[in-house]
Copies of this chain bind each other. A is one copy, B any other.
Amino acid sequence: MQKNKIEVCFTPATFEYFKNNEAIVVIVDILRATSAIVTAFMNGVKQLIPVATLEEAKAYKEKGFLVAAERDGIVRDFADFGNSPYNFTKERVYGKEIVYSTTNGTNCITLAKDSHEVLIGAYLNHRALVNHVVEQNRDVIIFCAGWKNKFNLEDSLFAGSFSETLINSGKFETNCDSAFASVDLWNVAKPNLINYIDKVAQRHRLAKNGLDDVIEYCHTFDLTQIIPVYKSGCIVKLSDY
């Protein structure tokens, strides 16, 4: 049996070299955009409308939409939410539509939008994603949001964990150096994940702004079966689609 291929793209700046419109793309921005998006769906958000620029986000706000907008981890003053998963409580998001703009995450969605399927990945929905991707029987690209077009560790570790699980399913293989590297890094980090995360640059950026209370939460496996998917300009629950 022909196995499906795994590729790992470390930053938006290199996504064009991986482009494969037949593949499923899993976007990850563990600290914190995709962890926050999955959390919003866990708490009943109806849909998210990703926008690239703060100007677009502001224009939606002026039309009366709820808006999540941050740059460099800091919530914008016109916005209702920042980028912390803890912002997206049931009280604030249940049944709502929210416009969403983040430093790195939204750009990835725009770049990947012509792919077969664009899924939002986090540790929070890791197993559900694996099960879905295995069922689909297609090539997969794990697309790390990185940090301002640079490699970051926390997204790459997720890519390693995800790739290893897919390979262990027996239905996927890889010849992609960034997938090999991710799996090896994951195996270095896994025995003491939160300690390892202590050295990543983004943890220090978040700590500087008092925003690092979410590290353990964002590295918690399998709190939900929900898979957010990008469809026709919006992020919705895959099961609703």
Contact = CB atoms under 8 A, between A and B. Distances in A.
Interface in A194-211: 199-202, 204
Given A185-B185, A199-B180, A17 B149 contact: yes
A188 B160 CA distance: 14
How many of these chains are in the complex? 2
A153 B184 CA distance: 11
A153 B10 CA distance: 13
Contacts of A184: 184-185, 188
Interface in A7-53: 10-11, 13-14, 17-18
A17 B177 contact: no
A225 interface: no
Interface in A113-152: 147-152
A144 to B, nearest CB: 11
A153 B177 contact: yes
A175 interface: yes
A205 to B, nearest CB: 10
A165 B2 CA distance: 43
Contacts of A18: 150
The residue in A17, A175, A200 that gathers the most chain B C-beta atoms within 10 A of its C-beta is: A17
A176 interface: yes
Given A13-B13, A14-B13, A188-B188, A178 B199 contact: no
B177 A150 contact: yes
A181 interface: yes
Interface of A: 10-11, 13-14, 17-18, 147-153, 156, 175-178, 180-181, 184-185, 187-188, 199-202, 204
26 contacts: A11-B14, A13-B13, A13-B14, A14-B149, A14-B150, A17-B148, A17-B149, A150-B177, A150-B178, A151-B177, A151-B178, A151-B181, A152-B177, A153-B177, A156-B177, A156-B181, A175-B201, A175-B204, A176-B201, A177-B200, A177-B201, A177-B202, A181-B185, A184-B184, A184-B188, A185-B185
